[in-house]
A = this chain, B = another copy of it.
Amino acid sequence: MDKIRKYIESITEVNDEDWKFFSSKLQKKWYSKKTIIAEIGEVENHISFIEKGIVRLLIPNKEDDEITYGFSFENEFISAYDSFLTQTPSQYQLETLVETSLLSITYSDLQNVYEHTKMGNLIGRLVAERLFIIKSNRALSLLNDSAEKRYFNLFTERPNLIKEIPLKYIASYIGVTPQSLSRIRKQIS
C-alpha cells in the first residue's frame, strides 16, 4: 500500500479518513507473465495501480499481426480506461509482460469513493489529467517524431525496463518493423 499512497501524495495532500475509505476498496492481485488481465470486447471493470511489473496494451489484428498500443510500468495506473469510463466494450486488451502485482478498485467502488470522500474528485481529476497528457504525448509523437526519436525517448525514459520488453513489441509500438528497429538500436549504441 505504501507505493500507491506515495503516488497519490505526490499529486495532492491526503487525509487519513479518505485514505482509509479508499484503501479498504483496493484488492491485491498477482499475475504471472503473459496473462491477459482485460479482454478485448469486454467492459473494463477495474482501474489498477502497478506495484510491480509491466502491462502491455495491444490490439490483436485481423491478420494475426497484433499492434502494441502502449505500455504501463511500476507506479502507474493501468486500465482499459476509455472502456472503464464509458462502460462500453474495450477495443484492446491488457496483458502482463512480466510477473505483475496490482492494487485494483472496481468501477462501482470508485463511484462510491467519488461520492463519499472529500478528496475523491480532486484525485480523480488529477489522475484523468495525467492520463490525458500521456495519451496526448503519444498521439503527438506518432504524428510528429521519427521512429528514431520515439525509440530514443522510450530508451532514455525507461533505460532498465526496456531490456525486459521483446524487440517485436517495441518495434510495433514505435511503428517500424523489427528489422528497422535493430538498425536504430545499433546506431544509438
A interface with B by C-beta (< 8 Å): 59, 67, 69, 81-82, 85-86, 91-92, 114, 121-122, 124-125, 128-129, 131-133, 135-140, 142-144
Nearest-neighbor residue (CB-CB) of A121 within chain B = B121
Could you show 25 A-B contacts with beta carbons less than 8 Å apart?
A: A59-B140, A67-B143, A69-B139, A69-B140, A69-B143, A81-B132, A82-B132, A82-B137, A85-B129, A85-B132, A86-B133, A91-B144, A92-B140, A114-B122, A121-B122, A121-B124, A125-B125, A125-B128, A128-B128, A128-B129, A131-B132, A135-B136, A135-B139, A138-B139, A139-B139
A144, B67: Cβ atoms closer than 8 Å: yes
Per assembly, the copies of the chain total: 2
Which residues of chain B are near A133, meaning CB under 8 Å? 82, 85-86
Q: Closest B-chain residue to A143, C-beta based? A: B67
Verify B59–A144 contact, CB threshold 8 A: yes
What's the Cα separation between A127 and B82 when bound, in Å? 13
Give Cα distance in the complex from A172 to B69, angstroms: 22
Query: Chain B residues near A91 (CB, 8 Å)?
Result: 140, 144
Residue of B nearest to A88 (CB): B133
In the assembled complex, the CB of A188 is this many whole angstroms from the nearest CB of chain B, namely 22
Residue picked from A59, A81, A133, A138, most chain B C-beta under 10 Å: A133
Q: How far does the alpha carbon of A129 sit from the alpha carbon of B143 in the complex, in Å?
A: 23
Q: Which B residues lie within 8 Å of A131 (CB)?
A: 132
